[in-house]
Amino acid sequence: VQLQASGGGLVQAGGSLRLSCAASGSIFRVDTMGWYRQVPGKQRELVATVTSGGTTNYADSVKGRFTVSRDNAKNTVYLQMNSLKPEDTAVYYCNADIVSRRFYPSINRWGQGTHVTVSS
């Protein structure tokens, strides 16, 4: 099982980006999916999560600007980032709780990270 993220890049402050992350491999069910970010020298922090039922959770710093969503049929999670600020610059990692087979426990997985740079 792996998570493949895409969509990062360089954008000016006030601009938008959309990140995608698809889970692939032996998958029976994907539970909570989400995004975290990390800048050098700091701990990885929560950005947003979404459950399989659509319940979302956001960091206060991104509320009203970012929207997390998912396509359960495609095992894919998205992060629409609007009104980007220089302080949003980070490596963004997708994360998911994945059950590979029926009756197996859920295992937390990380994607490889995608860089987002917001210039002032």
Look up residue 23 and give its two tokens.
Answer: 């889970």
**What is the average per-residue pLDDT within 41-53?**
97
State whether residue 76 is helix, strand or coil. Answer: strand
Please state, rounded to an integer, the average pLDDT across all residues of the chain: 97
Q: What is the pLDDT of residue 82?
A: 98
Q: What is the pLDDT of residue 54?
A: 95
Residue 2's pLDDT band (cuts 50, 70, 90): very high
Q: What is the pLDDT of residue 108?
A: 97
Tens of pLDDT along 73-110? 999 999 999 999 999 999 999 999 999 999 999 999 99
Q: Provide DSSP, 30-70.
A: EEEEEEEEE-TTS--EEEEEE-TT--EEE-TTTTTTEEEEE
With residues binned 3-state (H G I as helix, E B as strand, rest as coil), the percentages for the chain, rounded to 5, are 5, 55, 40
Q: What is the pLDDT of residue 34?
A: 98
Q: Let me know: does 83 contact 14? Beta carbons within 8 Å.
A: yes
Q: What is the pLDDT of residue 91?
A: 98
Residue of 2, 5, 6 whose CA lies nearest to 30: 2
Q: In angstroms, rounded to a whole number, what is the distance separating the alpha carbons of residues 60 and 57?
A: 9
